[in-house]
Amino acid sequence: MKFDLTINKKNYTVDVEDGTPLLWVLRDELELVGTKFGCGIGECGACTVHIDGKAERSCQQMVELVEGKEITTIEGLSENGEYPVQEAWKTIDVPQCGYCQSGQIMTASAFLNKNHQPSKEEIRMAMHGNLCRCASYNRIEKAVGLASSQMQESKQVKV
């Protein structure tokens, strides 16, 4: 079946079976491999993308259900990795293995677009559903806080 998708502000037509998870459309059909496969059951967060601005697990979103929606992947967050959350990740040197980081960054950016001045507890609650095999949680929380400050200074809050 053919599906028309809007991903990173570009239009794509993909020919895949009904019921194909968005994750595999992104990775296998469109070669947008920044979105990672982690668990396949929506528990780890490695495959997080934005769908209409909300952080969603792409392994759980069937292609037919996202047609007509605005999808943003890590590749679409910023052209050169300059989005404040990405900059904060670099400043704090968050990643160890880096595998979960695109999902972490996508979750953090969607969260900060809704909550511009979060407390440490709010950051912790927003990020708790994304698993990090290297246990970089303290640096992740610190980077989200730094990104929030940077976004407030630059008045950049919406993707």
**Predicted confidence (pLDDT) per residue in 54-73, tens digit:** 999 999 999 999 999 999 99
Please give the mean pLDDT across all residues of the chain.
95
Q: For residue 157, name the pLDDT band (cuts at 50, 70, 90).
A: low
One-letter amino acid of 90 = K
Residue range(s) of every CATH 3.10.20.30 domain in the chain? 2-76
Please, are residues 151 and 42 in contact by the beta-carbon 8 Å criterion?
no
Q: For residue 152, name the pLDDT band (cuts at 50, 70, 90).
A: confident
Q: Give the separation between CA 83 and CA 137, rounded to whole angstroms.
A: 20
Topology classification of domain 2-76 = Ubiquitin-like (UB roll) (3.10.20)
What mean pLDDT is predicted for residues 143-150? Answer: 96
Superfamily the domain 84-157 falls into: [2Fe-2S]-binding domain (1.10.150.120)
**What residues contact residue 106 under an 8 Å CB cut-off, 6+ apart?**
48, 49, 50, 55, 72, 73, 74, 77
Query: Token pair of 1, please?
Result: 């079946």
Question: Which pTM does this prediction carry?
Answer: 0.94
Helix/strand/coil for 105: helix
Residue range(s) of every CATH 1.10.150.120 domain in the chain? 84-157
Q: For residue 98, name the pLDDT band (cuts at 50, 70, 90).
A: confident
Q: Give the separation between CA 21 and CA 74, rounded to whole angstroms.
A: 17
Is 101 a residue whose pLDDT tops 60?
yes
